Structure 1
Amino acid sequence: MFDRTDRHGPHTGLHSEHGALAGEHPGRAKNPVIKVHDLAWLEFEKPDLPRAEVFARAFGFTPALSTEHELHLRGTDPGAPCVLIRKGARSKFLGPAFRAGAPGDVLRLAEATGRRVTPLPEALGGIAVDLADPSGLRVRVVSDLDELPALPPQEPHTFNFGHEVRRANLTQRPPREPARVQRLGHVVLQTTRYRKALDWYLEHLGLIVSDFLYHPGQRERGPVMSFIRCDRGATPSDHHTLAMVLGPADRYVHSAYQVADLDALAAGGEYLRDRGYHHSWGIGRHIQGSQLFDYWRDPDGFMVEHFSDGDLFDDTLEPGWAPMSASGLAQWGPPATADFLGTRPGRESLRELRAMLSALREENEFDGRRLLGLLKAARS
């Protein structure tokens, strides 16, 4: 019989409550240029906007703008759209936009980087400064946006927890319908220049690290993944707004969108499944961030996540450190799939293999030992 105190269980050492060792990365910059408040939106190009809109509605977005050349997708929360999609010859992730934390921060960032401030399109309002991170990804910081009003939300259910009765003489019948996306939560990026990119985001945008992961047996070489949050001082913010991982190619990994609760996530997933969309992994609960998750792929192959009940940290918590492993991705739920891990045979895994061979020949942070560490983590 399994002993719950067994120190050799699959999750031993994976909960990263333990902090840095002497000399390890502090997880924040001493004097960042600005401190962004949140992600504003993500930008994509796709060749088939009508197809993208059909999936978006099934996933739980509401179109705020739909034309022959552009599609803006929003959640029920007030503010800016979550996703901007422009018509293009092929599917491509263009980059994230972050909302500045204070008036004048866009001007301050532009002056510090020698970049020009430009007006945003009339449908969005406001101004932006465009930068490039060390991976070459366009990173936009915006402010003074026109605010979309709130939409009717999907109300969370009332639960009877144990012997605590909150619902009597009433049934629980969540309909199988699209989950109503509330807001954009985070984006995950892979980069061949992880440490340079990490420091760039901390120094320019004032982000701070919630958790670091390192390859098993390679902690002395430093972290290879970080979950990074906005610094809002005493006001708690999402455990991660941006996550970055070292890998053989610079690419989008996935983005996550908050829904009301587990029923919204599960019933919304069944709605997607009924319509033949590709389920990648879930349902489960993550370790870093603690959120309930369910992963899907849109018709263009981009991975998107429904999540709920995530951790919120203020600026007092220092980074946790833990080894990277496939079993360490979830506290409970089915094992991480080959599709989620990028190892499923097909075009994507072949593209990643080619990227590995190319990265090993180039000067970057992804070397042979890192490759062995990544393979070990994926098998664990």
Structure 2
Amino acid sequence: MPACPAGQLRSIAIGVTDLDAAERFYNDTWHLQTVARTADAVYLRGAGRFHHILALHRSQKPDVRNVTFSVASPADLEAIAASTPAAGGRVLSGPAVVDEPGGGTAVTIADPQGRVLRFVHGDARHAESAHADAPSRITHVVFNSADVAVAQRFFEDALGFRLTDRTKIMAFMRCNSDHHSIALADSDADTLNHIAFVMPDLDAVMRGAGRMRDAGWPIEWGVGRHGPGNNVFAYFVGPDDFVIEYTADVLQVDESYRVGGPSDWQWPPGRFDQWGVSQPPSDRIKQAQKTIRFAT
């Protein structure tokens, strides 16, 4: 696909009510590694090259601080800053030097529904890790939206995203060859639906799911294989009720991919994934997917 100024999804910053406990969970059970720490925040890397893919901030209540993308050039930062207001968003800051671990230069914006998105160039990188059971990166974030059409237009017009598939309840948006980096779910509120961490393969997803169950975190949906994106999934409700997903085998697409519609993604009665083995999402995960908002 033509180059998208948004680049690649890099990280998400979230507020947690018990910083030490959340760090232990994401280190010991989720298999991320702490690479930096301040008085009120912890930064965790995956097995990939990004400096960090998850930032935990001490908070009175769970929230989302920002979702960060890594862009290819300073010109992409300028393009995003220029296109955001005309598409209905706001430029909150930048381009400016990032004053947190990882560094770089960033533009920070808010979309028309209040989500804070940050675009960084020149941030630090690591050598890739050979850890077979650690997520390499965040492959997608799903937002609930009270008006998916408004959100979709903004991601297309301001940031250069393309629609990959549309189901009855969700618009899957891409900014590179990943089937989707953002998905927008029809809802009555603008909240975080879930965060997806990509694992090396199906076996790593299964081992991770077993590790979570051993630690007292039950599978809330899965293990199964999705339709749009063709990815394997296992969902959990983690600390502070953030919904987190282990995934693998994310479909890679190019210009030849035909955009699917709702009629392309229908399962027979009683099925909730391609394989037909997954139970439906639990009541707990359905509730957790509605609760966490972006910090104002």
**TM-score category by the smaller chain?**
0.7 to 0.9
Deviations 1:226-265 (A, max 9, x none): 111114xxxxx11111100121111000011111122211
Aligned-residue offset at 1:192: 0.6
Matched, 1:38 2:8: yes
Does the residue aligned with 2:213 lie in a helix, a strand or coil? helix
User: Which AA in structure 2 matches 1:38?
Assistant: Q
Aligned-residue offset at 1:341: 6.1
User: Which AA in structure 2 matches 1:73?
Assistant: L
Matched, 1:207 2:178: no
Aligned-residue offset at 1:340: 6.6
Structure-to-structure mapping, 1:30-179, within 5 angstroms: 35-57=5-27, 58-113=29-84, 115=91, 116-154=94-132, 179=133
TM-score when normalising by structure 2: 0.86
Does the residue aligned with 1:331 lie in a helix, a strand or coil? coil
Deviations 1:322-357 (A, max 9, x none): 2476866510222222337616xxxx59979xxxxx
User: Which AA in structure 2 matches 1:152?
Assistant: A
Aligned-residue offset at 1:98: 1.4
Note closer, same or farther for the CA distance 1:144–1:239 as it changes in structure 2 (3 Å cut).
Answer: same
Does the residue aligned with 2:7 lie in a helix, a strand or coil? strand
Match of 1:297 among 210, 223, 237: 237
User: Which AA in structure 2 matches 1:99?
Assistant: S
Show the counterpart of 1:276.
216
User: Which AA in structure 1 matches 2:246?
Assistant: H
Does the residue aligned with 1:105 lie in a helix, a strand or coil? helix
Match of 1:198 among 144, 152, 166: 152
Task: Say if 1:296 and 1:304, in contact at 8 Å, map to a contact too.
Answer: yes
The two structures, once aligned, show a CA RMSD in angstroms of: 2.5
Does the residue aligned with 2:274 lie in a helix, a strand or coil? strand
Task: Say if 1:41 and 1:80, in contact at 8 Å, map to a contact too.
Answer: no
Show the counterpart of 1:185.
139
Cα separation, 1, equivalents of 2:102 and 2:65: 17
Matched, 1:331 2:293: no
Cα separation, 2, equivalents of 1:228 and 1:350: 20
Show the counterpart of 1:318.
258
Structure 2: unaligned runs, 5 residues or longer: 86-90
Show the counterpart of 2:172.
227
Task: Say if 1:290 and 1:311, in contact at 8 Å, map to a contact too.
Answer: yes
Aligned-residue offset at 1:67: 4.0
Show the counterpart of 1:287.
227
TM-score when normalising by structure 1: 0.68
Task: Say if 2:243 and 2:285, in contact at 8 Å, map to a contact too.
Answer: no
User: Which AA in structure 2 matches 1:198?
Assistant: Q
Task: Say if 1:124 and 1:145, in contact at 8 Å, map to a contact too.
Answer: yes
Does the residue aligned with 2:135 lie in a helix, a strand or coil? coil
Does the residue aligned with 1:152 lie in a helix, a strand or coil? coil
Cα separation, 2, equivalents of 1:189 and 1:104: 27
Note closer, same or farther for the CA distance 1:139–1:274 as it changes in structure 2 (3 Å cut).
Answer: same
Does the residue aligned with 2:24 lie in a helix, a strand or coil? helix
Note closer, same or farther for the CA distance 1:256–1:291 as it changes in structure 2 (3 Å cut).
Answer: same
User: Which AA in structure 2 matches 1:143?
Assistant: H
Match of 1:266 among 186, 206, 212: 206
Task: Say if 2:44 and 2:53, in contact at 8 Å, map to a contact too.
Answer: yes
Note closer, same or farther for the CA distance 1:321–1:329 as it changes in structure 2 (3 Å cut).
Answer: farther
User: Which AA in structure 1 matches 2:282?
Assistant: A
* Percent of pairs with identical residues: 26
Does the residue aligned with 1:36 lie in a helix, a strand or coil? coil
User: Which AA in structure 2 matches 1:133?
Assistant: D
Cα separation, 2, equivalents of 1:240 and 1:185: 8
Show the counterpart of 2:88.
none
Deviations 1:12-46 (A, max 9, x none): xxxxxxxxxxxxxxxx9xx99x5222101111111
Aligned-residue offset at 1:122: 4.6
Cα separation, 1, equivalents of 2:159 and 2:291: 31
Indicate the structure (1 or 2) with the bigger Cα radius of gyration: 1
